[in-house]
Structure 1
Amino acid sequence: MEWQRAFHLTRLHLEEIGGELPTEPGIVVHRGKDLGRWVRAQRLGWEKLTGVQQWMCEQVLGIEPVREDEKPKPRTSQAQKWAMHLTAARQL
C-alpha cells in the first residue's frame, strides 16, 4: 500500500506539476512523502522490486536502477574497524 501511494504521488508530481524526477532526499516533499528518498530507495533496491514494479518505475516514471558507480560503499563493521586499528597499531 505504501509503495503504491509513493508511486502515485511521484506520478502526480511529474504530470501535474511538471516537475523533474527528484533524485535526492529532502528536495521534493509532496503530501508528507519525501519523493526523492522514495525514488532513491527504488533505484538502490531495484532487485527487490517485482517485475511489474520495475516496469512501472521505468516506463511510467523514468526511474532506472542504480549504476555500479553510484552504489554506496558498504559500511565498515565495528569488528573490521577494530582489525584495521590493530593492524595500524602493530605497524608503529
Structure 2
Amino acid sequence: MVAASLSTPSFETNAASTPPPANDPVFDGVDVLTDQILAAVERSRALGHRDTRITLTRPTETVEGVRNRLLMAGLTPVVRASSMGGVSVLSVRC
C-alpha cells in the first residue's frame, strides 16, 4: 500500500490568515465601531426602514466610548450589562 501527501494550496492560505486579535483598535476601536453604526443608521433611514435596532456587544469600556459618540451624533443608545463580566450591550433604535 502506498500513501501520498499532496499539498493543498487552499488549506495553506486559509491557515495562514488568522483573525485579528481581540480588542484590536483597527477592528474594534471606538471610532471604527461608531462609524459602522452611524453608516448602518443612515442606510436604514435611506431605505425607509422603521424601528430598526442595532446591537453592539463589546467590553464595557468600548461600549461607553461608542455610547458617548452616538449621543454626540444625536442618537439615544441604551447600555445594559451583559451576562458576562466586563462586557456590556449597546442598543440603538432608529
More helix by share: 1
More strand by share: 2
Asked which structure has the greater RCO (Cα within 8 Å, sep 6+), the reply is 2
State the TM-score, normalizing by the size of structure 2: 0.34
The two structures have a TM-score, normalised by structure 1, of: 0.35
